[in-house]
Amino acid sequence: MHTLRAATVQLVSHTDPAVNRESVKRLVAEAAAAGADWVLLPEYWPIMGQRDTDKLALAEPFGNGPLQEMMAALAAEHGIVLFGGSIPLAGATPDKILNSLLVYGRDGRCLSRYDKTHLFGFTGLGESYREADTIEAGNRIPPAGEADGWRYAQGICYDLRFPEFFRAQQPFDVLLLPAAFTYTTGLAHWQMLLQARAVENQCYVIASGQGGTHANGRRTFGHSMIIDPWGEILACLPEGEGVVTAELKPERLRTVRSKLPALQHRLF
Catalytic positions are 43, 116, 157
Alpha carbons 60 and 190: distance in angstroms, whole number: 30
Whether the Cβ atoms of residue 155 and residue 175 lie closer than 8 Å to each other = yes
**Helix 66-78 and helix 17-33: axis angle, to 10°?**
20
Alpha carbons 198 and 190: distance in angstroms, whole number: 13
CA 62 to chain centre: 18
Half-sphere CA count of 168, side-chain side, radius 13 A: 11
Whether the Cβ atoms of residue 42 and residue 10 lie closer than 8 Å to each other = yes
Alpha helices in the chain (DSSP H): 17-33, 66-78, 163-167, 183-185, 191-201, 250-259
Whether the Cβ atoms of residue 99 and residue 135 lie closer than 8 Å to each other = yes
Alpha carbons 266 and 253: distance in angstroms, whole number: 18
Whether the Cβ atoms of residue 206 and residue 38 lie closer than 8 Å to each other = yes
Whether the Cβ atoms of residue 8 and residue 226 lie closer than 8 Å to each other = yes
User: Distances in Å between the alpha carbon of 58 and those of 88, 94, 170?
Assistant: 6, 11, 33
